[in-house]
Amino acid sequence: MTDTTFPANAARPLTGQDYKTLSLAALGGALEFYDFIIFVFFANAIGQLFFPSEMPDWLRSLQTFGIFAAGYVVRPLGGIVMAHFGDLLGRKRMFTLSILLMAVPTLTIGLLPTYANIGLAAPLLLLLMRVLQGAAVGGEVPGAWVFVSEHVPSRYTGYACGVLTAGLTFGILLGSLVATALNTAYQPDEVLAGAWRMPFLLGGVFGLGAMYLRRWLHETPVFAEMAQRKALAAEMPLKAVLRNHRSATVISMLLTWLLSAGIVVVILMTPALLQKVYHIDARTSLIANTVATLGLALGCITYGVLADRLGAKPVLFVGSLLLAVCTYVFYTTLRTQPELLLPLYGLTGFCVGVVGAVPCVLVQAFPAQVRFTGLSFSYNLSYAIFGGLTPVVVTLMMKNDPLGPAYYVMGVCVIGMLTALFIQRSPLAAAPVPA
């Protein structure tokens, strides 16, 4: 039987169809991540509109961000369910379903009546839509990594996953740019009067368009061959993962911790820290964050290519070390030389791009029969735990030392370096990529 770990024609070059698959997957991922995070950019407006006006501000904010956090809490469950059927029914079906499950709730949020119209039903419906969004993104990210890795030749797995991860990064950037443009074009009262709905309606329409484009994608050759040979999982995929692939699960969870620490602290939390701790104005902080996000996208592709050429183990080890050093230099230099903010933040964002090599390891850690489930379970569970706790831990660390964010990222980088030592290079990914 042909080995279905990755496509059998591993020696072939990338084709036009491969680039089409990568482009559509990255586009859909970017739009889906935009839909998932646009909520947080309009949290203040949503809080005022979906909760009673007499409610204290702190309680309104708490409940609004609680609804936002619900999307993260449900990610593991949504990811496991979608991955289960992805391993049994096909990657493409779940890949298409995930973007539909994101686009419809996003569009619905843009159309929801507010508390003034329907009372308590408004925040409850908002919570339901957010739960559906969380389930969708829980299946989208692992599903996209599996989908592209099973389409391209195995020696380009790192490049494919890096491009896709860069696409997700552009989704975050797109959300930031849309929010900035809207708040520039409209006054605060105009935003509350209805302009806040535009980004959600736009995201929903774009998501439905991306879902239509995904109709032109084909099922992965790996799954198609397994289905033809009746070699699909013979039992519940999650049961097989927990019984037979515990070490792969632990390694995948630890590497996801590295991924979440870099994204959450350096990219998402740092703009607020720049203003609060280093007293840098909001506009400059936003520009710097844009530079860092672009650096991250470029870094994801670069590290993915390096993982193909050199192997994921040395790339993750050295990349984690560089991220630790860069993070320390970034946070310590800003106090004395704030004029270096843009180049230092851009360089640090590029170093965070080491996370682009993480999915390359994750997709190779599990056999094809349970790959979607194994990757989805380990990634989503780890992100729910570590991604959710990271802001709390970093905030507590900052009470004792303003360099708490740097120390946290550096500590996780050490864990990433140690974890890299246990990575077993896939023999099917070992062939060097021609220069």
pLDDT at 331: 93
* Residue entry with tokens 């289960």: 84
% of the chain exceeding 70 in pLDDT: 93
Task: Identify the pLDDT of residue 234.
Answer: 57
Angle CA 367–99–267, to nearest 5 = 80
Task: Tell whether the model's pLDDT for residue 27 goes beyond 80.
Answer: yes
- 323 or 154, which is more confident: 323
What does the block give as tokens for 42?
Answer: 């309009």
**pLDDT tier for residue 31 given thresholds of 50, 70 and 90:** confident
pLDDT tens per residue across span 63-107: 887 887 787 788 888 888 888 777 777 777 777 788 888 889 999
Is the pLDDT assigned to residue 428 strictly greater than 50? no
For the cut 70, the answer to whether the pLDDT of residue 8 exceeds it is: no
Query: Over the stretch 155-204, which tens digit does the pLDDT of each residue have?
Result: 899 999 999 999 888 888 888 888 888 888 888 899 899 999 999 999 99
- What is the structure's pLDDT at 427? 41
Ramachandran class of 279: left when φ > 0, alpha when ψ lies in -120 to 50, beta otherwise: left
User: Quick check: 253 pLDDT over 80?
Assistant: yes
Lowest mean pLDDT among 7-21, 124-138, 266-280: 7-21
First to last CA, the chain: 32
Sign of CA dihedral 324, 388, 285, 204: positive
The pLDDT of residue 230 is: 60
For residue range 120-154, what is the model confidence (pLDDT) as tens digits?
999 999 999 999 988 888 888 888 888 888 888 88
- pLDDT tier at 425, thresholds 50, 70, 90: low
Using CB atoms within 10 Å of the CB of residue 221, give its burial: 0 to 12 exposed, 13 to 18 middle, 19+ buried. middle
Report for 13-22, 179-188, 266-275, 288-297: range of highest mean pLDDT: 288-297
Angle at 133 between CA 132 and CA 139, to 5 degrees: 95
Q: Residue 246: its pLDDT value, please? A: 92
**Average pLDDT taken over every residue of the chain:** 85
Q: Tell me the two tokens of residue 216.
A: 């032109």
d(CA 228, CA 65): 47
pLDDT at 435 over 60: no
The confidence score (pLDDT) of residue 200 equals 94
CA-to-CA distance for 423 and 426, rounded, in angstroms?
9
More confident residue, 339 or 324: 324
Q: Give per-residue pLDDT as tens, 347-403.
A: 999 999 999 999 999 999 998 888 888 998 999 999 888 877 888 788 888 888 889
Model confidence at 2, in pLDDT bands (50, 70, 90)?
A: very low
On the question of pLDDT at 319 being above 60, the answer is yes
Residue 229 has pLDDT above 70, yes or no: no
3-state secondary structure the chain: CCCCCCCCCCCCCCCHHHHHHHHHHHHHHHHHHHHHHHHHHCHHHHHHHHCCCCCCHHHHHHHHHHHHHHHHHCHHHHHHHHHHHHHHHCHHHHHHHHHHHHHHHHHHHCCCCCHHHHCCHHHHHHHHHHHHHHHHHHHHHHHHHHHHHCCCCHHHHHHHHHHHHHHHHHHHHHHHHHHHHHHHHCCHHHHHHHHCHHHHHHHHHHHHHHHHHHHHCCCCHHHHHHHHCCCCCCCCHHHHHHHHCHHHHHHHHHHHHHHHHHHHHHHHHHHHHHHHCCCCCHHHHHHHHHHHHHHHHHHHHHHHHHHHHHCHHHHHHHHHHHHHHHHHHHHHHCCCCHHHHHHHHHHHHHHHHHHHHHHHHHHHHCCHHHHHHHHHHHHHHHHHHHHHHHHHHHHHHHHHCCCHHHHHHHHHHHHHHHHHCCCCCCHHHCCCCCC
pLDDT at 79: 85
CB neighbour list of residue 206: distance below 8 Å, 6 or more residues apart: 31, 34, 103
